[in-house]
Chain A
């Protein structure tokens, strides 16, 4: 049976992290997973921003996307954990609170829409793990990455809070580790594995930037200490924050971590025998060449 998803592109992947979008599309094509497009979506409406202005109208704006997905006979697939978190949160809140659902549906009624439960929301990582499955991925690995030590970085909205996302253990997640091991790479344990990049708080200017650089340094230092060859994320926002963090650390403190930060699909694509160029690894902020020459 073929897998098909309705693609929810989001802004970080399709505007800021084109390399990741290229890679994701190429890998899904090679896995024969179909991606359907809709032109009707609006922004996922980050809860920490939009819902801060109006909790219920914010929820209505987010769930408008779920109404659209409901018109298709396939799950919604997000590229970004933040979109996944927002949409999963809206789904959970509306499915578990009748009063809230009624209020939100009153608002949606103003534009002739109604939220109905039953839409499945997935993210690239959850789709690969739950729907495609580790077992089937194993059969696709043509060039196992035996020499690579990869540091998994889970981020937040892929698994937190557990009751919204229903993916992985909320204290000791392990699904990304399993996915990494499929590629033949070693998934190294390190202190900052379940830390946060503060990408989703980056709306708030200087203070959040300051905090994100401090945490980026902690995360990079921790991954370097266990001699990781790369950090593997589940989310394009984490890629952006950890790469921008490295650039700032280099210019402001003269510390150069030279740590490639990639999404899991990049690692998977390489282990499937796809070339660096096919995966858009030639247009990243980090210099991927030292890493690539190590695997070849």
Chain B
């Protein structure tokens, strides 16, 4: 079957009532968590992850992915209207988006953000469609040694591009890897750190850990913030941008699509980083850089396009290599694995309906989101009026039931609560949860492939450098580690977090 035929087959999956319904639910919930400050796409995805257990893998992944890109759309709303980013990737939008709102031009800002998001999202789906299948074909040929190198590369890049302290990020990666060793050794079946408890044979429940580390810790941190928010409802007629707005925004949307597309493949916090890069790029390209910070529409169009352009390309490493590059795709990996679908080079061969159904649903989801985020923006803004304490019990009850329903074990609720407490404390001290989660997901495969590669090579470590491609990859890892080491040694502390603070 040609790519076009497969896409048509994908649409036949995504356009069923079930596919459409769950795509809509995902987009709607994604927009809601994007709008609500303190609930980002990660928390949104982890909280609804258990609901996918009763669904087939394609429908489940369609819903979760809808939450991911839906949150990118929704995040711009609160950034523009109340200067509170709904999620991290919308921080930059606060700068000019809110200034536009102050000048009574919230409507055009929202309109351009939604249109840019739509175009960026569509470009990235095209990227996913054209890049992932050939990449997967190449990856089928590779052995465990290359997989080890790829995973190490991903982890090294995460530690380099991380927003916080690099040593702390590296520590979280190692913590994730070591916690991932709990359970039966996959090669020998020897129990490790189970202390005779059969419930630990499969390791600590990823769902419980993910919901605890992201969802619960986020809720606890949010309970400390007592801001009350006053927002406004823009009228539909006010959404129409002026001709000058369109002229200024169009090139920014084009550049934002490219930036997001490129950054989507880089592991770490690409969706956040891409917005900063896009903003800096727009300021540099602008004929009137002095307007930035005072309501320049390009400062909204570029970053909002970029953070949506990341969503499709971030799926390429996951679906073609089986390696999640950002925490959101780690959740998707977990969901697919629970359903017995292993993302990676064989996904397109063994489960083409999952890949092409997802691609098709992303096209549909982008249209749904455009419809949701323009005429209904006033309704979403009203969500900010619901007291947070009314949302907390609902979110926690869904989390508890979801975690319990994975293994029907109260022990998983313990894991969720305790990891939530640990995540809360670690985040208070500047440790990020995303590297921990990614390492947790990748740890098993890193160890398994590392030992397999050595066994196949008769114990020769040269197996990790026996091909030109591997040597290049190892060199990149080495370079990144050296850069990170030098940065730390020379006391270089510039981080994206600093930029957020300045913004």
Q: Do A and B come from one complex?
A: no
**A residues adjacent to B (C-beta < 8 A):** none
